[in-house]
Amino acid sequence: MKKIISLIIGSLFLFVLAGCKDPNQASKSSGSGSVDVKKLKCQTVLNTKADEVKMLKDFTDTVTELTGGSLQFEILPAGAVVGVKETLDAVDKGLIDCGFAWTHYWSGDHPAAMLFGSPVAGGGVGIDNLAFLSWFQYGGGKELYDQLWKEMGRDIKGFMLQPVGPEALGWFPEPIKDMADFRKYKFRTPPGIPGQTYKDIGIASVAMGGGDILPALEAGTIDAAEWCCPKPDMVFGFQKVLKHYYLQGLHQVVVNADFYITGKTYKAMSAHEKKSLEVAANASLAKSLSYRIYENGKALQQLTTQHGVKLEDTPSDYFVEYMAAAKATLNKNAEKNAFFKKVYDSMKDFADVAVPFWSGAQMSNAKLGMAHAATLK
């Protein structure tokens, strides 16, 4: 009888222990193994409906799948935890686990951030987004990108995710025949070196956040503006205010968005988790390029056929003036900052080898494409 009572008590004890198990543990178990789940809070500098955030979620979902669920992400909109300008600080200090923005957002922390996020006028050496990725992956860019965070004094691991460019020159109330016409308008530009370069060639450049652009146009505070590309521009609603659209611009031929993880958090990850982030980031580079070509094409077609937007050709003197000013600005920054010079020299060395091939190979494709586009008018 005592043995039976002892067995009953022992069984109850084991049952209670099982019931007191960590409630999250069940979701960590899979078959005979178990997964240690890390749930990371990631704040973007955009609202959660933006195309960039859609592609970010594709990246984080891929990471979750590759890690068997050990890395999971909660994507938060701009301002959910900290202000947009504090996003990088918050990742560095561990207030949030990860963040998402464009690298050039942090040019105030270090001017070389612009060379990774939006090297003005393709670095002045003809680098487009595909050529940039070639430099980044195989020309030493990635190693310099990792060094950038150390130069800033940040405890951060970054991953380049989304090539965005080339960005359009922008939207105007009337056609511009030359730079003299361009100089008549107060023009919204990006902050930092791209915007300063516009000022250097006599444009009344006004830097402002994305959410302020349309109200400023409607109020007459500015006359013309740029934001990005056909799809994001259409979502913003530029076509409601302005009808003359210029695709060819130099200020942000290359634009890249990236993802940041607190360094301490990244170092604590397993080798498999780190490799999963790397693989998913590389996949995101290709997916983003592919996605944007088609989405921008559909949006441009819609803008011109349904919204009365007129697609215009950028005046030829713009390219001469802006390129000269961009090179002067880049060289000036290289003289002032040793790391900026190191990155810029690397880009130029790469361009000396790669751009003659790449630009030459693309000329025939561009002509064929323009010939086809002409048949659709």
Residue 219: CATH number of its domain:
3.40.190.10
Examine the fold and report which residue of 267, 292, 317 is the final residue of a domain before the chain moves on.
Answer: 292
Q: What is the pLDDT of residues 239-248, one digit of tens each?
A: 999 999 999 9
pLDDT at 222: 97
pLDDT band at 310 (very low <50, low <70, confident <90, very high): very high
Looking at the structure, tell me whether residues 181 and 221 fall in a common domain. Answer: yes
Q: What is the pTM of this model?
A: 0.86
Q: What are phi and psi of 364, to 5 degrees?
A: -65, -40
Q: Which of 206-210, 277-281, 317-321 has the lowest mean pLDDT?
A: 206-210
Looking at the structure, tell me whether residues 194 and 243 fall in a common domain. Answer: yes
Q: Enumerate residues 6+ apart whose C-beta is below 8 A from 181.
A: 174, 175, 315
Residue 375 forms part of a structural domain? no
Domain limits for position 176: 170-251+308-369
Looking at the structure, tell me whether residues 137 and 265 fall in a common domain. Answer: yes
Task: Round to whole Å and give the CA distance between 30 and 112.
Answer: 45
pLDDT at 168: 96
Residue 150 forms part of a structural domain? yes
Of the CA atoms within 13 Å of residue 103, those in its CB half-sphere come to: 31
Residue 29 forms part of a structural domain? no
Residue 50 forms part of a structural domain? yes
Looking at the structure, tell me whether residues 225 and 352 fall in a common domain. Answer: yes
Of the CA atoms within 13 Å of residue 35, those in its CB half-sphere come to: 20
Looking at the structure, tell me whether residues 281 and 365 fall in a common domain. Answer: no
Region 314-341 average pLDDT: 96
Residue 118 forms part of a structural domain? yes
Residue 22 forms part of a structural domain? no
- With 0-12 / 13-18 / 19 or more C-beta atoms within 10 angstroms meaning exposed / middle / buried, residue 152 is middle
User: Helices 316-336 and 193-200, interaxial angle, to 10°?
Assistant: 120
Is residue 5 over pLDDT 70? no
Looking at the structure, tell me whether residues 189 and 282 fall in a common domain. Answer: no
Looking at the structure, tell me whether residues 316 and 265 fall in a common domain. Answer: no
Residue 47: CATH number of its domain:
3.40.190.170
Is residue 364 over pLDDT 90? no
Looking at the structure, tell me whether residues 192 and 265 fall in a common domain. Answer: no
Q: What is the pLDDT of residues 61-97, one digit of tens each?
A: 999 999 999 999 999 999 999 999 999 999 999 999 9
Looking at the structure, tell me whether residues 233 and 351 fall in a common domain. Answer: yes
Is residue 372 over pLDDT 90? no
Q: What is the pLDDT of residues 20-61, one digit of tens each?
A: 333 333 344 444 457 799 999 999 998 888 889 999 999 999
Q: What is the pLDDT of residues 152-197, one digit of tens each?
A: 999 999 999 999 889 999 999 999 999 999 999 999 998 788 899 9
Q: Residue 17: how many CB atoms within 10 A of its CB?
A: 9
Q: Which of 12-26, 136-150, 354-368 has the lowest mean pLDDT?
A: 12-26
Task: Round to whole Å and give the CA distance between 21 and 371.
Answer: 68
C-alpha separations of 331 from 111, 191, 274, 336, 363 in Å = 12, 18, 36, 9, 28
pLDDT at 33: 57
Residue 377 forms part of a structural domain? no
Domain tally, the chain? 2
Q: Residue 86: how many CB atoms within 10 A of its CB?
A: 16
Contact between 254 and 129 (Cβ < 8 Å): yes
Residue 334 forms part of a structural domain? yes
Mean pLDDT of the chain: 90
Region 190-212 average pLDDT: 89
Looking at the structure, tell me whether residues 184 and 241 fall in a common domain. Answer: yes
Looking at the structure, tell me whether residues 175 and 66 fall in a common domain. Answer: no
Is residue 127 over pLDDT 90? yes
Region 213-237 average pLDDT: 94
Looking at the structure, tell me whether residues 246 and 263 fall in a common domain. Answer: no
Q: Which of 10-19, 153-162, 165-174, 253-262 has the lowest mean pLDDT?
A: 10-19
